[in-house]
Structure 1
Amino acid sequence: MNKKQLILKLSAIAVSVLLASCGGDGYYGKENGNNGTVVAQIATVTITIRDVTGFAIPAAIVKIGESEMIANEQGIVTFRLESGKTHSATVTANGYQVTNADVVVGAGQTTATQTIRITPLSAENSTVIARVFNGETGSVLANTQIQVGTETKTTGANGDVTLSNITNSEKVLFNINSQGFAQQSIVVNTITGQPSNINIQLLPLKLAGSFSPSTNASVSLSNSIAKVDVFANSLARTDSQSINGNVSIKIAPINSILDIHQLPGELTTVDSSGQRQLIESFGAMIINAVDSADNEVTLKTGNVATVSIPVVTRSTTLPATTPLYIYDVEEGYWVKDGSNILTLSTDGKYYTGSTSQFGAVSAATVYQTVEVTGCLADGNGYRLQNVPISLEGVDYSGYSTAITNSNGEFTISARANSTAVVAGQLGRSISNSNKITTAANSYAMSPCLEMTNLSNNVTVKLTWGSLPNDIDSHLLAPNGSLVYYGSKGSLSSAPYAYLDVDDTSSFGPEIVTIRRLMVGDYYYVVHNYSGTYDPGITDSPTRVELNTPTGSELFVPNSGESVNMINKNYWHVFTLRVDSNCNISVIPVRQWLDSEISLKRPQQTPSYCVPSEVVN
C-alpha cells in the first residue's frame, strides 16, 4: 500500500468511527432551527465496483462526501449513509475513467447494496500485450516484429511487446515475423475494449535442400517425411526479378496436437456463398523458398509442386482424401487451393498432392457442427459479459471462438459427436476449463465457467504426443495437498486448486486451475504414468504452459530423462513461490526424479495470501 492509499484508508476509518459513535442504534442527532433534535436513520451501504465486463475492480477509490474508501479484493466498499437520501459517489481507478454515480438509500432502510460500473479510459481502442516463444524450445524470442494494420512493433528481451490504440473489433489480424522462423498470424477479438494478452509460438524454419531452379528437385527434412518436389523452371521471385543462384526450400512442420494455434489465423474457410465454415486439420506445414540473396521465391502462375504433409492430428479417423487448404495471409483464414486434392499414403503417415502456392498448407476438411451453450461468472456467481470463449477439440484438431452476451451467456460451435475443452479468457484472467462430449444435437454446459480476479489466477496446461498414452499433472501445494487424477481437488474449498481436465489416452490436455493462492511453494511435476519410453516424456514431445498474473511461460523437457539406460518417471518442471501479498515467483527447475517423495510435505493448515494493494 502506498502513502496515498494509507492516508485514504485512515481517513475512511476515522469517518466510519465518527459515524458509528453518533448512535449505535443506527440513528444520529442534528440540530434544527428551533434548537431541537431531528433523528436521522443511518444505513450500512455495500457498494461493488465492476468494469463493463462485470469483473470486480480491487483498489478502486470511492468517495462519498468527505469519506473515501479503497475497494477490497472483491471490489467492495462499505459506507454508513443517511437513509432516505441520494448520495453522490465518485469512483477512480487506474486505467479507468473517473465515474460519478448516485447511491440511493431508501427511507427506513438500514442496509442497502449497489453496483457501480466503470469504463476503461478508451472505449473505442484496446491494448494487446503479446509474448512470443520459440515453439520448439520454449524460450522467449526478442527482436520479433508484430504488425497490426499500419503499426509494427518489436519484442524486447523478455519476448514481450505492447500494442496500443487498436480499434475494437471482433477480428484483428496480427502478423508476426522473426529471422529464422516461419511467419505466424493470430486473430484476436478486441471488441471488449479490455486489454488482451496473447501467447505466440513461432516455428523454426529447417533447411530441406538447395538446388538449381532450372532442374527438377526433391527436397525433404531429415528425420521427417515432410517433402517438396518442384519441376524445372517452375519458380520465380515474388518481386518479378531474376532468381540469384540456387533456391533453398525450408520447411516448418506444424504440430497442432501440442498447440492448435501453431496453425496460423482462424481455422475457418469461406464457402461459395461467403459463409464461414470451421475446418479441422489432419496435417500441416509451412514452406518457405528463397534464392541465394535471400529474395523470396514462389511458384509461377499455372505451375504446381508436389507436397508430402506428415499426418499430425488428434483424430483417430483419417479421410482417404482431403482438399488442400492454403492460408490466406491477407484475410486471416484458409482457402481451398483450387481443385487440388491430397491423398493419404498407404501407411497412413502422410498426405500427398499438388499445391499452386508455398506458405502454410494443410490437409483439412469442413466438419459438421453442433451448438454448445454455457455461461461465465465470477467467484460470487456474478455473470460476466463480453468475455472471449474458446473451444478446442480433444479428439479432433480444430477450434472455435465466441463471446459472452450481456447475461454472461455464450453459444459456441463444436464438432458433432466429439470431445472438446471450453474456457474463457480476458487479459491474463483465465476461467476453469470444462471438458464436454457432444452428440448429434446441441449441448448445454452446466454449471457456469468461473473466472476470478487476476491476483489469484493461475492455470497450467500439459500436452504431449500419441505416446506415452498417459502422462499426468501433479500439483503439490504448500499445505501438503496433492492435486492429481486420484484427488482432483476443489475450486470452492481447500486446496482451491483443481484438475479441470484429465486425459488418459494420448495428447492431453491436462489442465490445473488455482483459484486461491497459499503462501509458500507449489511444485508442479509431470509423471509418466504409462511407464513407456519409446518415446518418453522428452521425445513425445511434451509441453507445459504456465499462465500467471505476471505472464506466461512455456516449458519443454530438458535432457536427463534416461541416464545409463535407467529411465526416470518424474519431471519436476517448476516451483511457484507465493508470498503473503500474493506476489508470484516462477522458479524453473527442470529436474528428473525417480519419485516425488522428496517433494511431499506433511498436511498442515494452509495460509492464504492477500494482495497488498487491496488490504482494508
Structure 2
Amino acid sequence: MRWMRWLRLWVLCALAGAVLAGCFGGDGDGDDDSSGTTPAPPAVLGTVSGRVQSAADGGAVAGATVDVAGVRATTAADGSFTLQAPVGARSVARVEAPGFAPTVRITAVQEGQASALTAQLLPVAASAAVTVAAGADVTVPGTPALVRLPAAGLVRSDGGGAAATVTVSVTPINPALNAALMPGDFTAGSAEAPQTIESFGAMQIDIRDAAGAAYNLAPNRTATLRIPLATRAPNPPATVPLFYMDTSTGRWVQEGTATLQGTGADRYYEGTVSHFSTWNADQVTETIRLTGCVRYANNQPVAGAQVSSDGIDYSGSSRAVTGTDGSFIIPVKKGGVLTLAALTGDRLTNTLRVEAATTAADATLPNCLVTAFTTAGINVKLTWGAKPEDVDSHLLAPDGSHVYFSAPGDLAAKPYANLDVDDTDSFGPEVVTITRLMQGTYRYAVHNYSGTFDPGMTGSPVRVELSRSGMLNVFTPPAGEGSNGWWHVFDLVVDANCAVTLVPVNTWLADQPPPVTVANPVLCAVN
C-alpha cells in the first residue's frame, strides 16, 4: 500500500537525519505532487565509531556528544560511540562534553567500511565569573593567554535577555605539541578551493550564563585576544592573519590580523575580534602534491585508507583518502619536513618521514605505506618541546631486540618493530611501529639524551601516545624526575593467546630498564 511505501522512506530519511520535505523532494505531507517529481533516494549510510578522550591524560570522556551530519551519539563509560551517518568523503564531526573545550574532527564516512574516529578534548584551562556591565580581563595562569572583554559588550546568542554575570572559559591550543588538538583539518577557504594553513597557536573561548545560554559580542563591539605562540617553526612571522573555526564546514575563515608580542616563552599573538569562537593565528602555506600508495602486508592495495601528514618543522596537517587502487594525493607544505601515516579500520601503517625541502614541485613517494600484519599493530609516538633538544624512544622486545636510533629494527622480519622516524633537534616526533607481536613482554622507555634539565622531560613537556586496535593511550611524565635521565613509560604483555595487556609503569630511572627476554618467543598469527 502507498502509506507503507511512504513510511519506509520516512524511516530511512529519519535515520539519515534528513528533513522530511527535503528527503522526499516535495512538501512532506505524503501526497503525490502534481509535478510528478520522483522522490529522492534515501541517503547511503556508513558506520562511524571511535572514542572521545581527554587530551590531558588519554582518559575516557563519558557522556560526550558526537554529531556527524546531524546524527548524534553519546559516549559510553569508556568513551566509545558508534553511529550511522550519510556517506561523505569529508564529513564534519562536532564533539563536546562538559568541562572540555569543544572540537571539530574531519573523517571519511564510507559505505561498507567502518570509519575510525578518535577525538581528543582539551580540559577547559581557566574559567572566570565576569559582570557583563563592567567587562574584564580573563587570563590563563602560567601563560600569556588573555581575553579582554569590553564593558556592556556581551549579548545572548539566541537574542534573549542577558544575565548580569556570565562564566568565561578560555582554553589555549598548542598545535606544536599535538596537531590533532586543532579543530578541523588545517584548511581554510571553500570546498571548491581549499587552502592549506599552518598554525602559530590557537585559543577557544566559550561564554555562558548560569542557565547554560551562550553569549557573544554585541554588534559593533570588539574584544582583544592574546594567543600564546605555539609552533614548531623556528622563525614565526611578526604579523599573521587570524582565522576562526566555522563548525558547520569544519574549515577556518580568515578575519583580522594579529601581531607577535612578548619575549621568550611568553610570546603571544595579539589581535581584536568581533565575535567568539575558536581563533587561530595562522598563515596560508604554499603547497606541493605528494602522490603515494597504501598496501597491505601482502602487497595488495588498500582502498579507503585515511592518510594524514604531520609537520615536523611547522605546525600543520593535511589529509587524503586512498582510491580503489590504494593510491592517494596529499597536499603538504612546500619546503617543509613532515611525517605521513595511514589508518584503515583498526589497522595502522608505518610512518614515513618526508623532506619536502628537497622537492621543488609535485612528487611521487618512492615507498608505499604498509599496514601491520594484524589488527593488533601498535604505534608509539613521542613528542616534546623545544628543550631538551634530543629525547629518544627505546623499545625492548621479548626476543631481546632493542629498537632505538642505533638499531632501528625491521617491519617485515624479526623483531617486526621499527623506529620509523628519529628526531634530534626538538619537538619530535619519534615514531615506533610494531607490525607483528611476539608472546612476552615489550618495554617502552624514553631517554633524555641531551642530559639537560632546564626544563627536563617533565617541563618540556614530553608526551607519549600509544595507538593500538583503534584505542589511544596518552602518557605524560610523573613527578620526581630530578636528575634521572630515563622514564620507563609502560609495558605491553602479550599472553599465550596473543591478547595484549597494557601495564602503565610511569617510573623514573637512572639507567635503561632491563629487558624481559624469552628464549625463542612465539610469533602471533597473521590475520
TM-score range, shorter chain: 0.7 to 0.9
Aligned residue identity for 2:497: N
Aligned to 1:543: 463
Matched, 1:594 2:513: no
Select the residue among 236, 254, 259 that pairs with 1:318.
236
Select the residue among 406, 426, 430 that pairs with 1:506.
426
Aligned to 1:99: none
Shift in CA distance, 298/548, structure 1 to aligned 2, threshold 3 Å:
same
Aligned to 1:115: none
Q: Do the aligned partners of 2:440 and 2:521 also contact (CA within 8 Å) in 1?
A: no
Q: Do the aligned partners of 1:171 and 1:188 also contact (CA within 8 Å) in 2?
A: yes
Select the residue among 165, 172, 176 that pairs with 1:246.
165
Cα offset, 1:245, TM superposition? 2.5
Alignment: residue pair count: 481
Q: SS at 1:215's partner residue?
A: coil
- Alignment partners' CA distance in 1, 2:125 and 2:293: 44
Select the residue among 133, 141, 148 that pairs with 2:61.
141
Q: Do the aligned partners of 1:542 and 1:556 also contact (CA within 8 Å) in 2?
A: yes
Aligned to 1:585: 501
Aligned to 1:606: 521
Aligned to 2:125: 206
Deviation per residue, 1:400-427 (Å, 9 max, x gap): 1112223222111110111010111112
Q: SS at 2:375's partner residue?
A: helix
Select the residue among 145, 149, 158 that pairs with 1:230.
149
Aligned to 1:570: 486
Cα offset, 1:602, TM superposition? 5.7
- Alignment partners' CA distance in 2, 1:591 and 1:456: 26
- Alignment partners' CA distance in 1, 2:519 and 2:422: 26
Aligned to 1:129: 49
Select the residue among 171, 175, 182 that pairs with 2:90.
171
Cα offset, 1:301, TM superposition? 2.0
Shift in CA distance, 323/486, structure 1 to aligned 2, threshold 3 Å:
same
- Alignment partners' CA distance in 1, 2:485 and 2:418: 23
Aligned to 2:9: none
Cα offset, 1:187, TM superposition? 1.0
Aligned to 1:188: 107
Shift in CA distance, 546/473, structure 1 to aligned 2, threshold 3 Å:
same
Q: Do the aligned partners of 2:491 and 2:502 also contact (CA within 8 Å) in 1?
A: yes
Deviation per residue, 1:440-494 (Å, 9 max, x gap): 2123211211113433411111111111111111100001111011110011221
Aligned to 2:353: 435
Aligned to 1:257: 176
Q: Do the aligned partners of 2:168 and 2:207 also contact (CA within 8 Å) in 1?
A: yes
Aligned residue identity for 2:275: Q
Cα offset, 1:532, TM superposition? 1.6
Shift in CA distance, 444/274, structure 1 to aligned 2, threshold 3 Å:
closer
Q: SS at 1:382's partner residue?
A: coil
Unaligned runs of 5+ in 2: 1-42
Aligned to 1:283: 201
Matched, 1:330 2:225: no
Cα offset, 1:241, TM superposition? 2.0
Cα offset, 1:170, TM superposition? 0.5
User: Given the two structures, how large is their TM-score scaled by the length of structure 2?
Assistant: 0.87
Q: Do the aligned partners of 1:428 and 1:454 also contact (CA within 8 Å) in 2?
A: no
Q: Output aligned runs, 1:144-543, within 5 Å.
A: 144-163=64-83, 165-191=84-110, 193-270=112-189, 274-337=192-255, 340-345=256-261, 347=263, 349-438=267-356, 439-543=359-463
Q: Do the aligned partners of 1:245 and 1:292 also contact (CA within 8 Å) in 2?
A: no
519-528 or 295-304, larger mean C-alpha shift: 295-304
Q: Do the aligned partners of 1:267 and 1:280 also contact (CA within 8 Å) in 2?
A: yes
- Alignment partners' CA distance in 2, 1:166 and 1:213: 40
The CA RMSD over aligned residues, in Å, is 1.9
Cα offset, 1:604, TM superposition? 4.2
Shift in CA distance, 602/238, structure 1 to aligned 2, threshold 3 Å:
closer
Q: SS at 1:317's partner residue?
A: coil
Cα offset, 1:393, TM superposition? 0.9
Q: SS at 2:109's partner residue?
A: coil
Aligned to 2:22: none
- Alignment partners' CA distance in 2, 1:416 and 1:494: 36
Shift in CA distance, 479/296, structure 1 to aligned 2, threshold 3 Å:
same
Q: Do the aligned partners of 1:207 and 1:248 also contact (CA within 8 Å) in 2?
A: no
User: Given the two structures, how large is their TM-score scaled by the length of structure 1?
Assistant: 0.75
Aligned residue identity for 1:541: P
Cα offset, 1:154, TM superposition? 1.5
Shift in CA distance, 310/423, structure 1 to aligned 2, threshold 3 Å:
same
Q: Output aligned runs, 1:99-110, within 5 Å.
A: none
Unaligned runs of 5+ in 1: 1-122
Cα offset, 1:364, TM superposition? 0.4
Aligned to 1:72: none
Structure of higher CA gyration radius: 1
Aligned residue identity for 1:594: A
Aligned residue identity for 1:589: V
Q: Output aligned runs, 1:102-121, within 5 Å.
A: none
Cα offset, 1:192, TM superposition? 5.7
Q: Do the aligned partners of 1:168 and 1:193 also contact (CA within 8 Å) in 2?
A: no
Cα offset, 1:283, TM superposition? 0.8
Aligned residue identity for 1:236: V
Select the residue among 559, 570, 594 that pairs with 2:479.
559
Q: Do the aligned partners of 1:580 and 1:610 also contact (CA within 8 Å) in 2?
A: no
Deviation per residue, 1:360-394 (Å, 9 max, x gap): 00110101001111111111222222222111111
Q: SS at 1:390's partner residue?
A: strand
Deviation per residue, 1:229-277 (Å, 9 max, x gap): 1211111111222222223321111011222121111211116x95110
124-133 or 461-470, larger mean C-alpha shift: 124-133
Q: SS at 1:201's partner residue?
A: strand
